[in-house]
Amino acid sequence: MVKQTDKKVIGASWPVVGHAAQIKQLRQAVKESAWAHAYIFAGSEGCGRYLVARQFAQALLCTRENEDIPCGRCATCLQMQRSGHPDCLTLSPQEESEVIKITQVREAIAFCATRPYGGSHKVVLVRDADALTPEAQNAFLKTLEEPPAYVVIVLIVTHPERLLETITSRCQLLQFHGISEADTCSYLDTHNISKPEQELLQLFYGGQIGRMMTAVSTAGAIANLGSFIEQQIRLLAASSAERLLWVQDQGKIDMPYMNTFLSLSEALWSLSVKIEALGRTMYTQPALAAFLETIRTMPLKERAAYSSRLADVRLRLKAGSNYQLHLENLVLHLS
């Protein structure tokens, strides 16, 4: 039983923005040695699920056993903070692949079958676990059902419905939500991000704290968001012929960049609908204010439809379709 004094601080001392309730539950499980053998961390992309999973793994592996806050000083903690630990395995879709294959799951099964290298636990973190193929999920079943006592498995998913019911029934579900605007603003304030720049980050990433942290730590990333909006304004003002020439130029750009471009475009147009619906029309960031003014007379229904088209093209790009044809159709539908 956790003492009353402990309850006041649990959930407050992991270096993660938000998710206090989920962190409290995990910290209490570590403190009482009462964790589940397998978890599903479900939530939107970039909301912080993996950051929480890494902290949970570090708390389990820290040499100060049953301490819910990793010490940050032992060899295990230092390894986790630098590059990783031999008792913590992370699976994710391989490069140029959208799935986690059965060969990767077999690697995880073999990892679980051997005793811990340095401590008393082993942890498997599966990023984008909804990308596990059906064969890979079936191969994982026995390990999830009867893992060795020293193993903890965390499946990190965006779409839990894509997991087999036989998988979900063997795991404890923790649902994660986007970080509140107040929490993200507090985080950005600590990094001396100006209010106009915060508006851009909130617009594009909302509660996706992982993507926001990447943008904050990447030189020029926030300025590039402003340049991206300016490019959208130029496309709106361009003739059909100029738009088609722009599409041809995109054929020279790599696929990761195009996927990012489509994702940001989808976010911009989708949120332009929400902004107007909420009556939030005053922005200090020049490019954002100019974009909203440019599309001021465009009906919300058309904006929403264009955002849906962007999402469709992005999915076709992932599926290996000839995206250039779809992109041409997309830009020609701009009002």
pLDDT of residue 8: 31
- List the domain range (segments joined by +) for residue 117: 4-175
Same domain, 20 and 63: yes
pLDDT of residue 244: 86
Per DSSP, what are the bridge partners of residue 122? 151
Last residue of a domain, one of 144, 175, 206: 175
Same domain, 168 and 22: yes
pLDDT of residue 10: 37
172-175: strand order across its sheet: 88-91, 122-126, 151-157, 38-42, 172-175
Specify the pairing of strand 38-42 against strand 88-91: unpaired
Specify the CATH number for the domain of residue 65.
3.40.50.300
Same domain, 162 and 205: no
Same domain, 145 and 228: no
Is the sign of the CA dihedral 155, 312, 331, 297 positive or negative?
negative
Q: Could you tell me where the beta strands, DSSP code E, fall in the chain?
A: 38-42, 88-91, 122-126, 151-157, 172-175
Last residue of a domain, one of 124, 141, 175: 175
Same domain, 146 and 36: yes
Any idea what the Cα angle at residue 88 is, between residues 166 and 214, rounded to 5°? 95
Last residue of a domain, one of 175, 194, 220: 175
Same domain, 167 and 27: yes
Element (H, E) at 249: helix 240-250
One digit per residue, pLDDT tens: the chain, 335 residues?
Answer: 333 333 333 344 787 888 888 999 999 998 888 899 999 999 988 788 998 999 999 999 888 766 788 888 888 888 888 877 899 999 998 766 678 999 999 999 999 999 998 778 999 999 999 889 999 999 999 999 888 999 999 999 988 999 999 999 999 999 998 788 788 888 788 877 777 777 777 777 777 777 776 766 665 566 677 788 888 899 888 888 888 888 887 766 666 667 777 777 888 888 788 776 666 555 666 787 888 888 888 888 888 888 888 877 777 766 566 667 777 877 887 76
Same domain, 96 and 198: no
Same domain, 12 and 159: yes
Domain count, the chain: 2
Same domain, 31 and 61: yes
Per DSSP, what are the bridge partners of residue 124? 89, 153
d(CA 187, CA 189): 5
Same domain, 224 and 306: yes
Give the residue among 45, 38, 208 at the shortest CA–CA distance from 131: 45
Question: Between the CA atoms of 327, 330, 332 and 335, what dihedral angle is there, to the nearest 10 degrees?
Answer: -150
Judge whether 216 and 300 are in contact, CB under 8 Å. Answer: no
HSE-up of 38 (CA within 13 Å, CB side)? 19
Same domain, 162 and 188: no
Same domain, 210 and 301: yes
